[in-house]
Amino acid sequence: MDMLKKVPVKEQAPEVRAKNFEEVCLGYDEQEAVMEAGRCLNCKKPFCVGGCPVNIDIPGFITKLKEGSIEEAYQIISKDSALPAVCGRVCPQESQCEGKCIRGIKGEPIAIGKLERFAADWARQRGIRPVKEAVHNGKKVAVIGSGPAGLTCAGDLARLGYQVTIFEALHQPGGVLVYGIPEFRLPKDEVVAKEIQNVMDLGVKIETNVIVGRSVTIDQLLDEEGFDAVFIGSGAGLPRFMGIPGENANGVFSANEYLTRSNLMKAFDESYDTPIFRGKKVAVVGGGNVAMDAARTALRFGAEVHIVYRRSEAELPARVEEVHHAKEEGIIFDLLTNPVEILVDDNGWVKGMTCVRMELGEPDDSGRRRPVVIEGSEFDLALDTVIMALGTSPNPLISDTTKGLDVNRWHCIIADEKNGKTTKEGVYAGGDAVTGAATVILAMGAGKQAAQGIDEYLRNK
């Protein structure tokens, strides 16, 4: 065995998975996991832990794996993460734990994500649940949104003895884990539903179909429904569009709509009533994880798919693994390309998109080199579908209906990074609702901090 390399992980072959919605990565088996764990140097000062937004004791659980004590490994992870099977699959490990791994200096870092996933899957398949030791303290906390931030905050508060109710706007809990991330990356029934059940087993109640800001306000939750504190983890749900001509044509969708139809509403499953537009030639505009998800979904619905992104490959914000998988599956990358107009036929349907070529100039505020239009480089792409994956911003529904809750000019709720405290007493916030669209694990980190913040507030109240 080459100690400088990760133990390879089994995946569905690209040509097979391009035609199904089954999970792409098949994960390690026990032997492979123990072998990979054996590469860990068990550093005295583990930088990986510092790279993890929820500070999982990574060398601790890997040591247990090495010894073959998988259940113990799982319980170590569970102390800090309510959603290990999710995180093992969707965290950008290369820029977090694995990015800090000493093994990675000379060779490949330890496959921490894959090991986390293995431990979580192993435990779930054997019905092993996180240990709980909660005694009710008689205080009630409302959590708004059942995505990664809300679930983490709720789970941590429940362990501390609070009575927690999560309010979810959609008909199914999970937030972006169910409406955004596709089945082939994150199985819903097998993985997401089970990890949510683990949170509920800690005593957390979930009420679906409640739109806070419409069905009930935060002030009503505090004043009339007897909650002592509120955590807002409502995410960043509003899609952006480019504002170019033709954008309201039939066949132009937000990635949110497209993915929600496929993931939450299961359009890929014939037995569901959900319609989805099955284009033959699809352009997805954007370069993040959501763009990759939308592109790979369209591919599985049988389309030729182009990613249209205005910077170069090095700037793609998506996880490296997603870009790699997308390429393997046959997604075409039109990089340094930017749309300027969507071309529409007489009946109002998309027939193409005019784009310009870009080149990279000086670095901008984000530190990435700014794309600049190459004059005279216009060209047309023939298409029947355009999916806009340009990022999302927080929904103003809650901030507009809550007195004293301040937001910044992007509608992001202003909250203290350390403890989630907002400008309104008793109200905490975290995740994409505060930062704008980011990652599952950062939202979980914020949910965790806020749980501590809320606990401190209510203990001193």
Partner 1 sequence: MYIITRRKMLNESIVLCDVKAPRVARTCLPGQFVIVKTDEKGERIPLTICDYDREQETVTIVFQIVGASTYKMAQLKEGDGFQDFTGPLGRPSDLCLMPLEQLKKKQIVFVAGGVGAAPVYPQVKWLKEQGVPSDVIMGARSKDILILEEEMKQVAENLYITTDDGSYVRKGLVTDVLRDLVADQGKNYDHCVAIGPLIMMKFVSLLTKELQIPTVVSMNPIMVDGTGMCGACRVTVGGQVRFACVDGPEFDGHLLNFDEAIKRQQIYRTEEGRAYLKAKEGDTHHGGCGNCGGEQ
**DSSP of 150-180:** HHHHHHHHHHTT-EEEEE-SSSSS-THHHHT
- Residue 347: count other Cβ atoms within 10 Å of its Cβ: 8
Q: Is 190 in the site for partner 1 (CB under 8 A)?
A: no
Q: Is 247 in the site for partner 1 (CB under 8 A)?
A: yes
Q: Is 348 in the site for partner 1 (CB under 8 A)?
A: yes
266, 368, 369, 370: which one binds partner 1 (CB under 8 A): 266
> Which positions from 140 through 179 interact with partner 1, judged by CB under 8 A?
169-171, 179
138, 275, 367, 376: which one binds partner 1 (CB under 8 A): 275
1, 31, 271, 376: which one binds partner 1 (CB under 8 A): 271
Tokens representing 76 are 């170590």
Q: Is 410 in the site for partner 1 (CB under 8 A)?
A: no
198, 260, 435, 449: which one binds partner 1 (CB under 8 A): 260
Residue whose CB is less far from partner 1, 395 or 402: 395
Q: How far is the CB of 194 from partner 1 (least distance, A)?
A: 18
> Residue 158 carries which side chain, given as an amino acid letter?
A
Q: Is 189 in the site for partner 1 (CB under 8 A)?
A: no
Positive or negative: CA dihedral 295, 9, 190, 120 = negative
Positive or negative: CA dihedral 415, 421, 427, 433 = positive
Distance CA 90, CA 83 (A): 11
Q: How far is the CB of 350 from partner 1 (least distance, A)?
A: 11
Closest CA to 213 of 425, 403, 73, 399: 399
Distance CA 202, CA 129 (A): 10
Q: Is 125 in the site for partner 1 (CB under 8 A)?
A: no
Distance CA 289, CA 282 (A): 17
CB 49 within 8 A of CB 43: no
Q: How many CA atoms lie within 13 A of 253 on its CB side?
A: 23
Q: How far is the CB of 237 from partner 1 (least distance, A)?
A: 4
Q: Cα 434 to chain center, whole Å?
A: 15
Q: Which residues partner with 144 through β-bridges?
A: 167, 232
Q: How far is the CB of 293 from partner 1 (least distance, A)?
A: 15
Q: Is 219 in the site for partner 1 (CB under 8 A)?
A: no
What is the SS3 assignment for 370? strand
64, 261, 311, 421: which one binds partner 1 (CB under 8 A): 261
Q: Is 118 in the site for partner 1 (CB under 8 A)?
A: no
18, 25, 199, 210: which one binds partner 1 (CB under 8 A): 210
Q: Is 257 in the site for partner 1 (CB under 8 A)?
A: yes
> Which positions from 378 through 397 interact with partner 1, judged by CB under 8 A?
395, 397
Strands 238-239, 392-393: pairing is antiparallel
Residue whose CB is less far from partner 1, 200 or 244: 244
Residues that bind partner 1 (CB under 8 A): 169-171, 179, 208-211, 214-216, 237-239, 241, 243, 247-248, 250-251, 253-254, 256-257, 260-261, 265-266, 271-277, 347-348, 395, 397
